C-alpha cells in the first residue's frame, strides 16, 4: 500500500509538471506565432485550465515532501508529547477542510457532467473535462492528509516535516533552495 500511495503522489506531481510544460508550450506558440500569424483560439482558456490542474495536482506531492509553507514558531518550542498532539489536531482539522473541498469539487464536476455545462469561450469544451484536474488534485490531497493522519496517530513523527539543519552549511543550503 505504501508503494501505491507514494507512486500516486509522485505521478500526480508528474502530471502537474506536464501541465506546466503544456502552459509553457502554449505561451511560446502564442508569443512566437504572433508575428507569423499563428493563433490558438481560446488559448487563454486552455492556459487557465492547465494552470488550475497544475496547481491542484501538485498539492499532494508538495505536501508529502514537506515543501508547503509551514510556520512552526509555536510548535517548535513545545515538548515532544505536546507537539505530537498539536500535529495530530492540525492534521484532523486539515483533513476536515480538505474533505469538505474535495467533496464539493467532485460534486461540482459530476453536476457539470450531468447538466452538460459547456465553456463560454470560442472553443466549446464540456466543463467537466477541465474540472477533472481540480477535483482529482483535491481527492489525492485528501488521501495524502488521511495517510499522514494515520501515520501520526500511530505515534510516528510527521513525514512532511524536514529534519532540522545540523550545520550552518545546511541552513545556507536550505535558504538557497527556498529562494530566500
- The domain in which residue 45 lies consists of 2-178
**What does the DSSP 8-state code read for residue 117?**
-
Identify the helix (H) or strand (E) that includes residue 4.
helix 2-33
CA 16 to chain centre: 8
Q: How many domains does the chain have?
A: 1
pLDDT for residue 146: 96
pLDDT value at 55 more than 80: yes
pLDDT for residue 180: 56
Q: What's the predicted TM-score (pTM) here?
A: 0.85
Residues 149-160 as b/e (b if ≥16 CB within 10 A, e otherwise) read bebbeeeeebeb
pLDDT value at 23 more than 70: yes
Share of the chain above pLDDT 90, in %: 56
CB atoms inside a 10 Å sphere around CB 136: 20
pLDDT value at 6 more than 70: yes
**How would residue 179 be classed by pLDDT, with cut points 50, 70 and 90?**
low
Amino acid at each position: 500500500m505504501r508503494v501505491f500511495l507514494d507512486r500516486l503522489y509522485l505521478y500526480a506531481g508528474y502530471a502537474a509538471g506536464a501541465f506546466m510544460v503544456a502552459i509553457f508550450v502554449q505561451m511560446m506558440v502564442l508569443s512566437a506565432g504572433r508575428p507569423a500569424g499563428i493563433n490558438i483560439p481560446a488559448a487563454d482558456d486552455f492556459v487557465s485550465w492547465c494552470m488550475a490542474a497544475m496547481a491542484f495536482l501538485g498539492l499532494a506531492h508538495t505536501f508529502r515532501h514537506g515543501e508547503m509553507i509551514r510556520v512552526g514558531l509555536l510548535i517548535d518550542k513545545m515538548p515532544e508529547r505536546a507537539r505530537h498532539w498539536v500535529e495530530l489536531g492540525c492534521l484532523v482539522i486539515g483533513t476536515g477542510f480538505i474533505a469538505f473541498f474535495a467533496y464539493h469539487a467532485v460534486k461540482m464536476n459530476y453536476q457539470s457532467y450531468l447538466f452538460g455545462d459547456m465553456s463560454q469561450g470560442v472553443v466549446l469544451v464540456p466543463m467537466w473535462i477541465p474540472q477533472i484536474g481540480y477535483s482529482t488534485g483535491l481527492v489525492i490531497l485528501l488521501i495524502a492528509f488521511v495517510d499522514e493522519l494515520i501515520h501520526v496517530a500511530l505515534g510516528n513523527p510527521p513525514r512532511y516535516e524536514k529534519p532540522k539543519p545540523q550545520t550552518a552549511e545546511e541552513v545556507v543550503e536550505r535558504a538557497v533552495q527556498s529562494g530566500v
